[in-house]
A and B are shown apart, each in its own frame.
Chain A
Amino acid sequence: MSVTVKVMQRPEAGRTSYLRAALKGMSLTFKHLVNPRRATLQYPEEQPDLSPRWRGTHRMEVHADGRPKCVACGLCPTVCPANCIRLVGGEDDMGNRYPVVYEIDEFRCIFCGMCQEVCPVEAIHVGVHFENAEYTRDRFVYDLDRLMEQEHPTTLLWDPSDPKSE
Protein backbone atom coordinates (compact mmCIF):
# COMPACT_ATOMS: atom_id res chain seq x y z
CA MET A 1 0.00 0.00 0.00
CA SER A 2 1.26 3.43 -0.91
CA VAL A 3 2.77 5.50 1.88
CA THR A 4 0.31 8.34 1.27
CA VAL A 5 -2.73 6.21 2.11
CA LYS A 6 -3.90 6.72 5.68
CA VAL A 7 -5.83 3.83 7.16
CA MET A 8 -8.44 4.99 9.68
CA GLN A 9 -8.80 2.79 12.73
CA ARG A 10 -12.55 2.26 13.01
CA PRO A 11 -13.99 1.13 16.32
CA GLU A 12 -15.30 -2.42 16.51
CA ALA A 13 -18.94 -2.97 15.68
CA GLY A 14 -21.08 -2.65 18.80
CA ARG A 15 -18.68 -0.28 20.55
CA THR A 16 -19.63 3.09 19.07
CA SER A 17 -22.06 5.46 20.75
CA TYR A 18 -23.90 8.21 18.96
CA LEU A 19 -25.09 10.06 22.07
CA ARG A 20 -21.63 10.16 23.65
CA ALA A 21 -20.08 11.35 20.40
CA ALA A 22 -22.79 13.99 20.00
CA LEU A 23 -22.32 15.24 23.57
CA LYS A 24 -18.56 15.35 23.04
CA GLY A 25 -19.06 17.51 19.96
CA MET A 26 -21.47 19.77 21.80
CA SER A 27 -19.05 20.29 24.67
CA LEU A 28 -16.39 21.22 22.15
CA THR A 29 -18.58 23.84 20.47
CA PHE A 30 -19.66 25.13 23.87
CA LYS A 31 -16.03 25.66 24.83
CA HIS A 32 -15.66 27.83 21.76
CA LEU A 33 -18.84 29.70 22.68
CA VAL A 34 -17.61 30.70 26.15
CA ASN A 35 -13.97 31.06 25.19
CA PRO A 36 -13.79 32.17 21.57
CA ARG A 37 -10.54 32.55 19.69
CA ARG A 38 -11.71 35.11 17.17
CA ALA A 39 -9.43 35.87 14.27
CA THR A 40 -11.76 38.20 12.34
CA LEU A 41 -10.37 41.67 11.74
CA GLN A 42 -13.12 44.28 12.19
CA TYR A 43 -11.87 45.93 9.01
CA PRO A 44 -13.11 49.50 8.70
CA GLU A 45 -12.51 50.11 12.40
CA GLU A 46 -9.38 48.00 12.70
CA GLN A 47 -6.77 48.37 9.97
CA PRO A 48 -4.66 45.44 8.88
CA ASP A 49 -1.01 45.49 9.87
CA LEU A 50 0.63 45.64 6.44
CA SER A 51 4.22 44.59 5.93
CA PRO A 52 6.65 47.46 5.15
CA ARG A 53 7.48 45.54 1.96
CA TRP A 54 3.81 45.48 0.84
CA ARG A 55 3.64 46.65 -2.78
CA GLY A 56 0.51 48.67 -3.49
CA THR A 57 -0.45 51.61 -5.72
CA HIS A 58 2.27 54.04 -6.74
CA ARG A 59 3.29 57.47 -5.60
CA MET A 60 5.74 59.96 -7.09
CA GLU A 61 8.21 61.69 -4.80
CA VAL A 62 8.38 65.50 -5.16
CA HIS A 63 11.07 68.11 -4.58
CA ALA A 64 10.60 70.77 -1.90
CA ASP A 65 9.40 73.23 -4.57
CA GLY A 66 6.69 70.84 -5.73
CA ARG A 67 8.33 69.52 -8.90
CA PRO A 68 8.36 65.77 -9.44
CA LYS A 69 11.70 64.10 -8.79
CA CYS A 70 11.32 62.19 -12.07
CA VAL A 71 13.94 63.06 -14.72
CA ALA A 72 12.13 61.22 -17.53
CA CYS A 73 15.03 58.86 -18.13
CA GLY A 74 12.68 56.22 -19.49
CA LEU A 75 13.99 53.31 -17.41
CA CYS A 76 10.70 52.47 -15.70
CA PRO A 77 8.58 52.09 -18.88
CA THR A 78 11.41 50.01 -20.29
CA VAL A 79 11.68 47.68 -17.32
CA CYS A 80 7.92 47.44 -16.67
CA PRO A 81 6.90 43.84 -17.50
CA ALA A 82 3.23 44.76 -17.74
CA ASN A 83 3.92 47.77 -19.98
CA CYS A 84 1.64 49.96 -17.84
CA ILE A 85 3.73 53.16 -17.63
CA ARG A 86 3.39 55.84 -20.32
CA LEU A 87 6.12 58.45 -20.20
CA VAL A 88 6.68 61.43 -22.51
CA GLY A 89 9.76 63.34 -21.48
CA GLY A 90 10.51 67.02 -21.99
CA GLU A 91 13.26 69.54 -21.26
CA ASP A 92 12.90 72.93 -19.59
CA ASP A 93 14.87 76.21 -20.26
CA MET A 94 17.62 75.17 -17.84
CA GLY A 95 18.11 71.88 -19.69
CA ASN A 96 16.52 69.77 -16.93
CA ARG A 97 14.54 66.79 -18.17
CA TYR A 98 11.07 66.39 -16.70
CA PRO A 99 8.03 64.20 -17.47
CA VAL A 100 5.44 65.94 -19.66
CA VAL A 101 3.14 62.96 -19.43
CA TYR A 102 3.54 60.28 -16.76
CA GLU A 103 0.65 57.82 -16.46
CA ILE A 104 0.39 54.46 -14.75
CA ASP A 105 -2.49 52.15 -15.57
CA GLU A 106 -3.07 50.52 -12.19
CA PHE A 107 -5.23 47.83 -13.80
CA ARG A 108 -2.37 46.65 -16.01
CA CYS A 109 0.18 46.97 -13.21
CA ILE A 110 1.24 43.69 -11.57
CA PHE A 111 2.87 45.45 -8.59
CA CYS A 112 6.25 43.84 -9.09
CA GLY A 113 8.00 46.98 -7.84
CA MET A 114 10.64 46.92 -10.59
CA CYS A 115 9.95 50.59 -11.47
CA GLN A 116 10.96 51.55 -7.93
CA GLU A 117 14.06 49.33 -8.09
CA VAL A 118 15.22 50.71 -11.40
CA CYS A 119 14.56 54.42 -10.75
CA PRO A 120 17.94 56.21 -10.54
CA VAL A 121 16.56 59.26 -8.65
CA GLU A 122 14.14 57.44 -6.31
CA ALA A 123 11.17 59.22 -7.83
CA ILE A 124 8.55 56.50 -8.55
CA HIS A 125 7.63 54.18 -5.69
CA VAL A 126 5.12 51.46 -5.03
CA GLY A 127 3.30 52.10 -1.75
CA VAL A 128 1.98 50.44 1.38
CA HIS A 129 -1.67 50.96 0.50
CA PHE A 130 -4.64 48.91 -0.65
CA GLU A 131 -7.85 50.97 -0.46
CA ASN A 132 -8.21 51.95 -4.14
CA ALA A 133 -11.94 51.77 -4.83
CA GLU A 134 -13.28 54.09 -7.55
CA TYR A 135 -16.62 54.55 -9.25
CA THR A 136 -15.32 54.40 -12.84
CA ARG A 137 -12.64 52.39 -14.58
CA ASP A 138 -10.87 55.40 -16.11
CA ARG A 139 -10.07 56.65 -12.64
CA PHE A 140 -7.55 53.86 -12.39
CA VAL A 141 -5.13 55.44 -14.85
CA TYR A 142 -3.14 57.59 -12.42
CA ASP A 143 -1.63 60.70 -14.02
CA LEU A 144 1.34 62.66 -12.74
CA ASP A 145 -0.70 64.99 -10.49
CA ARG A 146 -2.50 62.08 -8.91
CA LEU A 147 0.75 60.20 -8.32
CA MET A 148 2.26 63.25 -6.65
CA GLU A 149 -0.78 63.72 -4.41
CA GLN A 150 -0.55 60.26 -2.87
CA GLU A 151 0.48 60.34 0.78
CA HIS A 152 0.75 56.70 1.81
CA PRO A 153 4.15 55.31 2.93
CA THR A 154 6.40 53.97 0.22
CA THR A 155 7.50 50.38 0.02
CA LEU A 156 10.74 49.23 1.58
CA LEU A 157 12.80 47.49 -1.09
CA TRP A 158 14.13 44.02 -0.52
CA ASP A 159 17.73 44.20 0.66
CA PRO A 160 19.79 41.18 -0.54
CA SER A 161 22.21 41.57 2.39
CA ASP A 162 19.30 41.38 4.84
CA PRO A 163 16.88 38.99 3.10
CA LYS A 164 14.47 38.72 6.08
CA SER A 165 14.35 42.49 6.84
CA GLU A 166 15.76 42.04 10.33
Chain B
Amino acid sequence: MNGLAPLFFMITSTVKVVTVFSVLMVAVAYTTLAERKISAWLQDRHGPNRVGPWGILQPLADGVKNIAKEETMPGTSAKPYFVLGPMISMIPALVTFAVIPFAAPLPTPWGTVPMIVADVPIGILYIMALSSLGVYGLVLGGWASNNKYAFLGGLRASAQMVSYEVALGLSLVTVLMVTGNVTLTQVVFEQQRLQLWYILPLSLGFILFVISAFAETNRLPFDMPEAESELVTGYHTEYSSMKFSMFFIAEYAHVITQSALMATLFLGGWDIPVWHGDDAFFFQGQWISGFDAAGAPVLAALAWWKTLLTLGMFLLKTGFFVFVYIWVRWTLPRFRYDQVMQLGWKVMLPTALTYVVVIAGTLLVLDEVGVPFGLRFGLVLTAVSAVATGIFVFWLDRDRIIGGASHPARGPLPPRMPSVDVPKLPASVGGD
Protein backbone atom coordinates (compact mmCIF):
# COMPACT_ATOMS: atom_id res chain seq x y z
CA MET B 1 0.00 0.00 0.00
CA ASN B 2 3.04 2.23 -0.33
CA GLY B 3 2.80 3.55 3.23
CA LEU B 4 -0.73 4.94 2.91
CA ALA B 5 -3.45 4.72 5.55
CA PRO B 6 -5.90 1.91 4.65
CA LEU B 7 -8.91 4.24 4.29
CA PHE B 8 -7.02 6.70 2.11
CA PHE B 9 -5.65 3.81 0.07
CA MET B 10 -9.19 2.52 -0.50
CA ILE B 11 -10.46 5.94 -1.57
CA THR B 12 -7.58 6.71 -3.93
CA SER B 13 -7.70 3.21 -5.42
CA THR B 14 -11.42 3.51 -6.12
CA VAL B 15 -10.93 6.90 -7.74
CA LYS B 16 -8.08 5.54 -9.84
CA VAL B 17 -10.03 2.46 -10.94
CA VAL B 18 -13.05 4.52 -12.02
CA THR B 19 -10.93 7.17 -13.73
CA VAL B 20 -8.66 4.78 -15.59
CA PHE B 21 -11.59 2.64 -16.71
CA SER B 22 -13.59 5.57 -18.03
CA VAL B 23 -10.58 7.19 -19.69
CA LEU B 24 -9.70 3.86 -21.29
CA MET B 25 -13.24 3.37 -22.63
CA VAL B 26 -13.31 6.88 -24.07
CA ALA B 27 -9.84 6.33 -25.51
CA VAL B 28 -11.06 3.11 -27.13
CA ALA B 29 -14.00 4.95 -28.68
CA TYR B 30 -11.74 7.65 -30.01
CA THR B 31 -9.17 5.17 -31.28
CA THR B 32 -11.87 3.83 -33.58
CA LEU B 33 -12.37 7.36 -34.85
CA ALA B 34 -8.62 7.89 -35.13
CA GLU B 35 -8.34 4.68 -37.12
CA ARG B 36 -11.01 5.79 -39.56
CA LYS B 37 -9.59 9.29 -39.82
CA ILE B 38 -5.96 8.28 -40.25
CA SER B 39 -6.83 5.52 -42.69
CA ALA B 40 -8.73 8.11 -44.69
CA TRP B 41 -5.83 10.55 -44.64
CA LEU B 42 -3.38 7.87 -45.68
CA GLN B 43 -5.62 7.14 -48.66
CA ASP B 44 -6.23 10.80 -49.62
CA ARG B 45 -9.79 10.70 -48.31
CA HIS B 46 -11.53 12.87 -45.70
CA GLY B 47 -12.85 10.27 -43.27
CA PRO B 48 -16.01 10.62 -41.18
CA ASN B 49 -16.88 14.32 -40.91
CA ARG B 50 -20.67 14.44 -40.70
CA VAL B 51 -21.40 13.85 -36.98
CA GLY B 52 -20.29 16.92 -35.07
CA PRO B 53 -17.41 19.14 -36.10
CA TRP B 54 -14.74 17.08 -37.94
CA GLY B 55 -16.76 14.00 -37.05
CA ILE B 56 -15.72 14.01 -33.38
CA LEU B 57 -19.12 12.66 -32.27
CA GLN B 58 -18.86 9.69 -34.65
CA PRO B 59 -17.98 7.14 -31.89
CA LEU B 60 -21.12 8.25 -30.01
CA ALA B 61 -23.26 7.74 -33.10
CA ASP B 62 -21.64 4.35 -33.69
CA GLY B 63 -22.41 3.34 -30.11
CA VAL B 64 -26.05 4.37 -30.37
CA LYS B 65 -26.35 2.56 -33.69
CA ASN B 66 -24.82 -0.63 -32.35
CA ILE B 67 -27.08 -0.68 -29.30
CA ALA B 68 -30.18 0.02 -31.36
CA LYS B 69 -29.44 -2.65 -33.95
CA GLU B 70 -31.15 -6.00 -34.03
CA GLU B 71 -29.21 -8.73 -32.34
CA THR B 72 -29.10 -11.98 -34.26
CA MET B 73 -28.35 -15.34 -32.76
CA PRO B 74 -27.70 -18.20 -35.16
CA GLY B 75 -30.18 -20.99 -34.48
CA THR B 76 -27.48 -23.65 -34.54
CA SER B 77 -25.05 -21.83 -32.28
CA ALA B 78 -23.99 -22.98 -28.82
CA LYS B 79 -25.77 -20.14 -27.09
CA PRO B 80 -24.02 -19.83 -23.71
CA TYR B 81 -20.60 -19.84 -25.36
CA PHE B 82 -21.79 -17.59 -28.14
CA VAL B 83 -22.76 -14.97 -25.54
CA LEU B 84 -19.65 -15.60 -23.49
CA GLY B 85 -17.23 -15.07 -26.42
CA PRO B 86 -17.30 -11.27 -26.68
CA MET B 87 -17.25 -10.88 -22.90
CA ILE B 88 -14.19 -13.06 -22.50
CA SER B 89 -12.34 -11.22 -25.21
CA MET B 90 -13.24 -7.82 -23.79
CA ILE B 91 -12.52 -8.18 -20.08
CA PRO B 92 -8.81 -9.17 -20.19
CA ALA B 93 -8.08 -6.33 -22.60
CA LEU B 94 -9.46 -3.82 -20.11
CA VAL B 95 -8.11 -5.42 -16.94
CA THR B 96 -4.52 -5.53 -18.20
CA PHE B 97 -4.18 -1.79 -17.92
CA ALA B 98 -4.32 -2.00 -14.11
CA VAL B 99 -0.59 -2.67 -13.67
CA ILE B 100 0.77 -0.04 -16.02
CA PRO B 101 2.13 3.05 -14.23
CA PHE B 102 0.91 6.14 -16.07
CA ALA B 103 2.54 9.07 -14.23
CA ALA B 104 4.96 10.09 -11.51
CA PRO B 105 3.48 9.68 -7.98
CA LEU B 106 1.20 12.46 -6.80
CA PRO B 107 2.02 14.03 -3.40
CA THR B 108 -1.07 14.87 -1.30
CA PRO B 109 -1.36 16.10 2.31
CA TRP B 110 -2.38 12.54 3.33
CA GLY B 111 0.44 10.70 1.61
CA THR B 112 2.00 10.11 -1.78
CA VAL B 113 -0.34 8.38 -4.22
CA PRO B 114 1.35 6.16 -6.82
CA MET B 115 -0.13 6.73 -10.26
CA ILE B 116 -0.87 3.10 -11.03
CA VAL B 117 -4.12 1.26 -10.38
CA ALA B 118 -2.52 -1.78 -8.77
CA ASP B 119 1.21 -1.95 -8.18
CA VAL B 120 1.20 -5.72 -7.91
CA PRO B 121 4.59 -7.38 -7.39
CA ILE B 122 4.06 -9.69 -10.40
CA GLY B 123 3.39 -6.88 -12.90
CA ILE B 124 4.59 -8.30 -16.21
CA LEU B 125 3.55 -11.87 -15.39
CA TYR B 126 0.04 -10.57 -14.70
CA ILE B 127 -0.01 -8.92 -18.11
CA MET B 128 1.30 -12.03 -19.85
CA ALA B 129 -1.30 -14.18 -18.12
CA LEU B 130 -4.28 -11.94 -18.81
CA SER B 131 -3.58 -10.56 -22.28
CA SER B 132 -3.40 -14.04 -23.75
CA LEU B 133 -6.75 -14.94 -22.14
CA GLY B 134 -8.39 -12.67 -24.69
CA VAL B 135 -7.88 -15.27 -27.39
CA TYR B 136 -10.29 -17.61 -25.62
CA GLY B 137 -13.05 -15.16 -26.49
CA LEU B 138 -12.13 -15.39 -30.15
CA VAL B 139 -11.88 -19.18 -30.10
CA LEU B 140 -15.13 -19.60 -28.13
CA GLY B 141 -16.99 -17.13 -30.31
CA GLY B 142 -15.66 -18.72 -33.48
CA TRP B 143 -16.51 -22.22 -32.39
CA ALA B 144 -19.92 -21.42 -30.86
CA SER B 145 -21.06 -19.63 -34.02
CA ASN B 146 -21.27 -23.00 -35.80
CA ASN B 147 -20.05 -21.36 -38.97
CA LYS B 148 -17.08 -22.69 -40.91
CA TYR B 149 -15.51 -19.28 -41.47
CA ALA B 150 -15.92 -18.26 -37.85
CA PHE B 151 -14.48 -21.61 -36.82
CA LEU B 152 -11.45 -21.19 -39.08
CA GLY B 153 -10.96 -17.70 -37.67
CA GLY B 154 -11.02 -19.00 -34.12
CA LEU B 155 -8.59 -21.78 -35.01
CA ARG B 156 -6.20 -19.33 -36.60
CA ALA B 157 -6.45 -17.04 -33.58
CA SER B 158 -5.41 -19.82 -31.25
CA ALA B 159 -2.57 -21.02 -33.52
CA GLN B 160 -1.26 -17.49 -33.89
CA MET B 161 -1.48 -16.82 -30.17
CA VAL B 162 0.48 -19.96 -29.35
CA SER B 163 3.16 -19.14 -31.93
CA TYR B 164 3.79 -15.54 -30.95
CA GLU B 165 3.26 -15.76 -27.21
CA VAL B 166 6.61 -17.55 -27.03
CA ALA B 167 8.56 -14.86 -28.85
CA LEU B 168 6.72 -12.17 -26.88
CA GLY B 169 7.63 -13.78 -23.59
CA LEU B 170 11.26 -14.30 -24.60
CA SER B 171 11.67 -10.70 -25.73
CA LEU B 172 10.29 -9.67 -22.33
CA VAL B 173 12.84 -11.89 -20.60
CA THR B 174 15.64 -9.56 -21.73
CA VAL B 175 13.81 -6.61 -20.15
CA LEU B 176 13.34 -8.55 -16.93
CA MET B 177 17.01 -9.58 -16.84
CA VAL B 178 18.24 -6.01 -17.14
CA THR B 179 15.64 -4.74 -14.66
CA GLY B 180 16.01 -7.58 -12.20
CA ASN B 181 12.32 -7.50 -11.29
CA VAL B 182 8.89 -7.95 -12.84
CA THR B 183 7.07 -4.87 -11.52
CA LEU B 184 6.50 -2.25 -14.15
CA THR B 185 7.27 0.59 -11.72
CA GLN B 186 10.77 -0.82 -11.34
CA VAL B 187 11.09 -1.24 -15.12
CA VAL B 188 10.45 2.51 -15.41
CA PHE B 189 12.81 3.33 -12.55
CA GLU B 190 15.69 1.25 -13.91
CA GLN B 191 15.35 3.00 -17.25
CA GLN B 192 15.67 6.31 -15.41
CA ARG B 193 18.74 5.04 -13.55
CA LEU B 194 20.27 3.67 -16.74
CA GLN B 195 19.74 7.09 -18.34
CA LEU B 196 18.79 5.16 -21.46
CA TRP B 197 15.41 3.85 -22.46
CA TYR B 198 15.45 0.12 -23.15
CA ILE B 199 14.73 0.75 -26.83
CA LEU B 200 18.50 1.38 -27.23
CA PRO B 201 20.15 -1.20 -24.94
CA LEU B 202 17.55 -3.81 -25.98
CA SER B 203 16.83 -2.72 -29.54
CA LEU B 204 16.32 -6.20 -30.96
CA GLY B 205 14.09 -7.07 -28.03
CA PHE B 206 12.00 -4.05 -28.91
CA ILE B 207 11.70 -5.14 -32.55
CA LEU B 208 10.71 -8.68 -31.55
CA PHE B 209 8.23 -7.34 -28.99
CA VAL B 210 6.59 -5.01 -31.52
CA ILE B 211 6.23 -7.78 -34.10
CA SER B 212 4.79 -10.20 -31.54
CA ALA B 213 2.51 -7.54 -30.12
CA PHE B 214 1.06 -6.95 -33.57
CA ALA B 215 0.43 -10.68 -33.85
CA GLU B 216 -1.07 -10.79 -30.35
CA THR B 217 -3.56 -8.01 -31.07
CA ASN B 218 -4.53 -9.69 -34.37
CA ARG B 219 -3.92 -6.51 -36.29
CA LEU B 220 -2.70 -6.35 -39.84
CA PRO B 221 -0.38 -7.69 -41.18
CA PHE B 222 -1.30 -10.49 -38.76
CA ASP B 223 -5.10 -10.37 -38.91
CA MET B 224 -5.41 -14.06 -39.76
CA PRO B 225 -8.45 -14.62 -37.48
CA GLU B 226 -10.40 -11.86 -39.20
CA ALA B 227 -9.03 -12.04 -42.78
CA GLU B 228 -11.96 -10.36 -44.54
CA SER B 229 -10.95 -11.51 -47.99
CA GLU B 230 -10.64 -15.16 -46.97
CA LEU B 231 -13.00 -15.80 -44.04
CA VAL B 232 -15.82 -13.24 -44.51
CA THR B 233 -14.89 -11.60 -41.21
CA GLY B 234 -13.52 -14.61 -39.38
CA TYR B 235 -14.47 -15.25 -35.79
CA HIS B 236 -17.11 -12.49 -35.59
CA THR B 237 -18.93 -13.40 -38.81
CA GLU B 238 -22.12 -14.33 -36.96
CA TYR B 239 -22.05 -11.49 -34.46
CA SER B 240 -24.16 -8.38 -34.75
CA SER B 241 -25.14 -5.34 -32.74
CA MET B 242 -23.42 -4.78 -29.39
CA LYS B 243 -21.73 -8.20 -29.28
CA PHE B 244 -19.96 -7.35 -32.51
CA SER B 245 -19.08 -3.99 -31.01
CA MET B 246 -17.62 -5.67 -27.93
CA PHE B 247 -15.15 -7.58 -30.09
CA PHE B 248 -14.05 -4.25 -31.47
CA ILE B 249 -13.80 -2.64 -28.05
CA ALA B 250 -11.62 -5.59 -27.09
CA GLU B 251 -9.40 -5.16 -30.13
CA TYR B 252 -8.87 -1.46 -29.56
CA ALA B 253 -8.42 -1.85 -25.82
CA HIS B 254 -5.78 -4.43 -26.66
CA VAL B 255 -4.10 -2.00 -29.03
CA ILE B 256 -4.04 0.73 -26.38
CA THR B 257 -2.77 -1.62 -23.67
CA GLN B 258 -0.04 -3.02 -25.90
CA SER B 259 0.95 0.53 -26.89
CA ALA B 260 1.12 1.57 -23.25
CA LEU B 261 3.14 -1.56 -22.56
CA MET B 262 5.62 -0.80 -25.35
CA ALA B 263 5.93 2.74 -24.04
CA THR B 264 6.50 1.48 -20.49
CA LEU B 265 8.90 -1.33 -21.30
CA PHE B 266 11.00 0.26 -24.01
CA LEU B 267 10.39 4.01 -24.01
CA GLY B 268 10.73 4.71 -20.29
CA GLY B 269 7.01 4.80 -19.46
CA TRP B 270 6.11 8.18 -18.02
CA ASP B 271 9.79 9.21 -17.84
CA ILE B 272 10.67 12.59 -19.33
CA PRO B 273 13.89 12.20 -21.36
CA VAL B 274 17.20 13.81 -20.24
CA TRP B 275 15.62 15.62 -17.25
CA HIS B 276 16.00 13.71 -14.00
CA GLY B 277 13.75 15.83 -11.79
CA ASP B 278 10.88 13.41 -12.39
CA ASP B 279 12.59 10.19 -11.29
CA ALA B 280 10.69 8.45 -8.49
CA PHE B 281 10.54 4.93 -7.09
CA PHE B 282 9.13 3.46 -3.89
CA PHE B 283 12.11 1.91 -2.13
CA GLN B 284 12.18 0.65 1.46
CA GLY B 285 9.28 2.76 2.67
CA GLN B 286 10.18 6.04 0.97
CA TRP B 287 10.07 7.65 -2.46
CA ILE B 288 13.56 7.96 -3.89
CA SER B 289 14.93 9.43 -7.11
CA GLY B 290 18.07 7.29 -7.22
CA PHE B 291 21.20 6.42 -5.29
CA ASP B 292 24.21 8.64 -4.55
CA ALA B 293 27.85 7.59 -5.09
CA ALA B 294 27.95 5.79 -1.75
CA GLY B 295 24.82 3.80 -2.65
CA ALA B 296 22.55 5.62 -0.19
CA PRO B 297 19.03 6.43 -1.49
CA VAL B 298 18.29 10.03 -2.48
CA LEU B 299 14.76 11.23 -1.68
CA ALA B 300 12.63 12.17 -4.67
CA ALA B 301 11.30 15.72 -5.08
CA LEU B 302 7.64 15.16 -6.00
CA ALA B 303 5.19 17.79 -7.19
CA TRP B 304 1.73 17.77 -8.72
CA TRP B 305 2.96 19.49 -11.86
CA LYS B 306 5.56 16.78 -12.34
CA THR B 307 2.73 14.24 -12.18
CA LEU B 308 0.87 16.14 -14.86
CA LEU B 309 3.96 16.49 -17.08
CA THR B 310 4.82 12.81 -16.80
CA LEU B 311 1.19 11.89 -17.50
CA GLY B 312 1.37 13.97 -20.66
CA MET B 313 4.61 12.22 -21.61
CA PHE B 314 3.02 8.81 -21.07
CA LEU B 315 -0.01 9.72 -23.18
CA LEU B 316 2.28 11.04 -25.91
CA LYS B 317 4.29 7.82 -26.08
CA THR B 318 1.20 5.60 -25.94
CA GLY B 319 -0.51 7.73 -28.57
CA PHE B 320 2.53 7.42 -30.79
CA PHE B 321 2.38 3.63 -30.68
CA VAL B 322 -1.37 3.63 -31.28
CA PHE B 323 -0.65 5.74 -34.34
CA VAL B 324 2.01 3.27 -35.48
CA TYR B 325 -0.52 0.44 -35.08
CA ILE B 326 -2.97 2.26 -37.33
CA TRP B 327 -0.28 3.36 -39.76
CA VAL B 328 1.01 -0.19 -40.18
CA ARG B 329 -2.47 -1.60 -40.52
CA TRP B 330 -3.31 0.66 -43.45
CA THR B 331 0.01 0.11 -45.19
CA LEU B 332 1.04 -3.54 -45.02
CA PRO B 333 -0.88 -6.36 -46.68
CA ARG B 334 -1.84 -9.50 -44.78
CA PHE B 335 0.61 -12.41 -44.63
CA ARG B 336 -0.27 -15.81 -45.90
CA TYR B 337 -1.07 -18.26 -43.14
CA ASP B 338 2.08 -20.32 -43.78
CA GLN B 339 4.16 -17.13 -43.73
CA VAL B 340 2.77 -16.25 -40.32
CA MET B 341 3.59 -19.68 -38.95
CA GLN B 342 7.05 -19.70 -40.52
CA LEU B 343 7.83 -16.25 -39.15
CA GLY B 344 6.65 -17.25 -35.70
CA TRP B 345 8.40 -20.57 -35.31
CA LYS B 346 11.40 -20.40 -37.63
CA VAL B 347 12.42 -16.76 -37.23
CA MET B 348 11.00 -15.13 -34.11
CA LEU B 349 11.49 -18.00 -31.69
CA PRO B 350 15.17 -18.83 -32.53
CA THR B 351 16.04 -15.13 -32.77
CA ALA B 352 14.46 -14.35 -29.41
CA LEU B 353 16.14 -17.36 -27.80
CA THR B 354 19.57 -16.43 -29.16
CA TYR B 355 19.06 -12.83 -28.12
CA VAL B 356 18.20 -13.85 -24.57
CA VAL B 357 21.44 -15.84 -24.40
CA VAL B 358 23.47 -12.95 -25.85
CA ILE B 359 22.01 -10.42 -23.40
CA ALA B 360 22.42 -12.81 -20.48
CA GLY B 361 26.08 -13.32 -21.44
CA THR B 362 26.66 -9.58 -21.75
CA LEU B 363 25.08 -8.96 -18.36
CA LEU B 364 27.25 -11.68 -16.83
CA VAL B 365 30.42 -10.17 -18.31
CA LEU B 366 29.42 -6.67 -17.17
CA ASP B 367 28.80 -7.94 -13.64
CA GLU B 368 32.09 -9.85 -13.57
CA VAL B 369 34.04 -6.81 -14.79
CA GLY B 370 32.20 -4.76 -12.18
CA VAL B 371 30.64 -2.03 -14.35
CA PRO B 372 28.13 -0.13 -12.16
CA PHE B 373 24.49 0.04 -13.33
CA GLY B 374 24.39 3.35 -15.19
CA LEU B 375 25.09 5.02 -18.49
CA ARG B 376 28.28 3.04 -19.29
CA PHE B 377 26.46 -0.22 -18.51
CA GLY B 378 23.71 0.81 -20.89
CA LEU B 379 26.07 1.82 -23.68
CA VAL B 380 27.78 -1.58 -23.67
CA LEU B 381 24.37 -3.25 -23.93
CA THR B 382 23.44 -0.80 -26.70
CA ALA B 383 26.52 -1.80 -28.71
CA VAL B 384 25.81 -5.52 -28.31
CA SER B 385 22.16 -5.03 -29.25
CA ALA B 386 23.10 -2.89 -32.24
CA VAL B 387 25.19 -5.76 -33.59
CA ALA B 388 22.30 -8.19 -32.99
CA THR B 389 19.85 -5.83 -34.67
CA GLY B 390 22.26 -5.40 -37.57
CA ILE B 391 22.40 -9.15 -38.05
CA PHE B 392 18.61 -9.32 -37.87
CA VAL B 393 18.08 -6.53 -40.37
CA PHE B 394 20.93 -7.11 -42.81
CA TRP B 395 21.35 -10.87 -42.78
CA LEU B 396 18.16 -12.50 -41.50
CA ASP B 397 15.94 -10.13 -43.44
CA ARG B 398 17.14 -11.46 -46.79
CA ASP B 399 14.30 -13.75 -47.88
CA ARG B 400 14.36 -15.46 -44.50
CA ILE B 401 11.76 -13.40 -42.64
CA ILE B 402 9.06 -13.24 -45.28
CA GLY B 403 9.68 -14.29 -48.85
CA GLY B 404 7.84 -12.56 -51.66
CA ALA B 405 4.39 -14.08 -52.22
CA SER B 406 5.05 -14.94 -55.86
CA HIS B 407 8.76 -15.40 -55.46
CA PRO B 408 9.95 -18.55 -57.22
CA ALA B 409 11.13 -21.25 -54.91
CA ARG B 410 14.88 -21.46 -54.42
CA GLY B 411 16.60 -23.72 -56.91
CA PRO B 412 15.19 -25.06 -60.16
CA LEU B 413 11.55 -25.99 -60.39
CA PRO B 414 10.72 -29.70 -59.98
CA PRO B 415 10.64 -31.51 -63.35
CA ARG B 416 7.27 -31.59 -65.01
CA MET B 417 5.44 -34.79 -65.67
CA PRO B 418 6.43 -36.07 -69.12
CA SER B 419 3.58 -35.70 -71.54
CA VAL B 420 2.09 -38.95 -72.74
CA ASP B 421 0.71 -39.38 -76.20
CA VAL B 422 -2.84 -40.56 -75.92
CA PRO B 423 -3.47 -43.04 -78.74
CA LYS B 424 -6.30 -42.05 -80.96
CA LEU B 425 -9.41 -44.13 -80.74
CA PRO B 426 -10.11 -46.19 -83.85
CA ALA B 427 -12.88 -44.64 -85.87
CA SER B 428 -15.11 -47.66 -85.41
CA VAL B 429 -15.34 -47.26 -81.62
CA GLY B 430 -18.34 -45.30 -80.42
CA GLY B 431 -19.56 -44.78 -83.96
CA ASP B 432 -22.80 -45.98 -85.42
Contact = CB atoms under 8 A, between A and B. Distances in A.
Interface in A21-46: 22, 25-26, 28-30, 32-33, 36-40, 42
B41 A16 contact: no
B404 interface: yes
Given A26-B328, A32-B43, A20 B397 contact: yes
Given A13-B399, A16-B398, A18-B397, A33 B38 contact: yes
A14 B38 CA distance: 35
Contact of A16 (B42, B44, B332, B403): B403
Overall SS of chain A's interface:
loop
Contacts of A40: 45-46
A15 B327 CA distance: 26
A19 interface: yes
B410 interface: yes
B407 interface: yes
A22 B332 contact: yes
B397 A13 contact: no
Interface in B272-330: 327-328, 330
A71 to B, nearest CB: 48
A17 interface: yes
A10 interface: yes
A15 B45 CA distance: 35
Contact of A19 (B42, B328, B401, B408): B401
Interface string B387-407: 000000100011101111011
Interface in B190-247: none
Nearest to A24: B331
A38 B399 contact: no
A16 B404 contact: yes
Given A29-B330, A32-B41, A18 B408 contact: no
Contacts of B404: 10-11, 16
Given A10-B407, A33-B38, A38 B397 contact: no
Contact of A13 (B38, B43, B328, B407): B407
B353 to A, nearest CB: 20
Contacts of B399: 13-16
A10 B406 CA distance: 9
A36 to B, nearest CB: 5
Contacts of A42: 46, 49
B406 A32 contact: no
A17 B407 CA distance: 12
A28 B43 CA distance: 11
A20 to B, nearest CB: 7
Interface in B319-359: 327-328, 330-332
28 contacts: A10-B407, A10-B408, A13-B399, A13-B407, A14-B398, A15-B398, A18-B397, A19-B401, A20-B397, A22-B332, A25-B331, A25-B332, A26-B327, A26-B332, A29-B42, A29-B331, A30-B42, A30-B327, A32-B41, A33-B38, A33-B327, A36-B44, A37-B44, A38-B44, A38-B45, A38-B46, A39-B44, A40-B45
* 9 tightest A-B CB contacts, nearest first: A18-B402, A29-B42, A29-B331, A13-B410, A18-B401, A19-B397, A25-B331, A17-B397, A26-B331
